[in-house]
Structure 1
């Protein structure tokens, strides 16, 4: 690839369903001249982005290591780089902690925490080889004031916050 393409940042965003933060971020990054890879569990939730040729739209399940590897490989093959990863995919989990099925808690943590870690682990080798990159994990202000029926979601975002603080220290020597 020519040097001109290397100067145009490639931004991979998870959780780009219509009406959400990821969708708005995809539009904003694109408006600011970035090449945007918009992802979501279901292609149907991104039809508006898909109609716009500026976006590279991919179906991605952050709970699947295979899905994560496949999409990251596709992006590297197509653009030769990933400059920014925005871990935005997330799910709610509403209900009293004493009654929420453990399977629902597992699903929430698998998406909100482990999904972000799967994505991070998939892009770090590439970013480290280039000695540059940015990883953004979308948290929640709810960790500052947990409320009833939001305990699982809040705990998942608190875990992501803690992991992000550690990642910042561990990845700094690699330019990330």
Structure 2
């Protein structure tokens, strides 16, 4: 395990190049944080591979085994997680009445249950410290749904409600 210095350990899901998670990973690293950047494939974060500020991990938020494996690796390496940023998410575009149910289920499994899966894995390592933070990336679309974004909007609204619930711990 690395030394227990004061630099926060930040775990970010969905860090594929060109996205919000990737930009957040760089911003946290620029702020002297130890960044655990994750995505379903290391190749989507290839530009971060040679930078020692990043600890890259493959993570599929749909898989309990993948989440537990990454959490174990992070705790073994750093001994803690100070900040979790749940950013992994997918779009689902189309008229609600025509979207195949498996596509709707996949969107909720990724955007809602995937985030909660990671929260449940990290909270036992955070609960006693009371300083850690969990950030779930939502969307303004949850407040203003459009005709082709109903599934995505509903998943982000659900995530928003669950995030509000976490504040009461």
Same fold (TM over 0.5): yes
Using the alignment, how far apart are the partners of 1:108 and 1:151 within structure 2? Answer: 11
- Return 5+ residue gaps in structure 2 as ranges: none
Q: If the length of structure 1 is used for normalisation, what is the TM-score?
A: 0.93
Q: Could you list the per-position Cα deviations for residues 109-143 of structure 1 after superposition, in whole angstroms to 9, with x for gaps in the alignment?
A: 00000000000000001101333311000000001
Q: Is the 8 A contact 1:14 1:89 kept in 2?
A: yes
Using the alignment, how far apart are the partners of 1:131 and 1:154 within structure 2? Answer: 31
Using the alignment, how far apart are the partners of 2:161 and 2:140 within structure 1? Answer: 14
Using the alignment, how far apart are the partners of 1:98 and 1:51 within structure 2? Answer: 46
Using the alignment, how far apart are the partners of 1:71 and 1:147 within structure 2? Answer: 36
What corresponds to 2:86 in structure 1?
Answer: 87
Question: How far off its partner does 1:144 sit?
Answer: 1.3
Q: How does 1:71-86 map to 2 (within 5 A)?
A: 71-86=70-85
**How many residue pairs end up in the alignment?**
169
Using the alignment, how far apart are the partners of 1:67 and 1:135 within structure 2? Answer: 19
Question: How far off its partner does 1:53 sit?
Answer: 1.7
- Return 5+ residue gaps in structure 1 as ranges: 171-176
Greater percentage in helix? 1
Q: Could you list the per-position Cα deviations for residues 2-41 of structure 1 after superposition, in whole angstroms to 9, with x for gaps in the alignment?
A: 8x73411000000000000000000000000000000001
CA-atom RMSD in angstroms:
1.2
Question: How far off its partner does 1:54 sit?
Answer: 1.3
SS of match in other structure, 1:89: coil
Q: Could you list the per-position Cα deviations for residues 37-61 of structure 1 after superposition, in whole angstroms to 9, with x for gaps in the alignment?
A: 0000111100001121210000000
Question: How far off its partner does 1:155 sit?
Answer: 0.2
What corresponds to 1:128 in structure 2?
Answer: 127
Q: If the length of structure 2 is used for normalisation, what is the TM-score?
A: 0.97
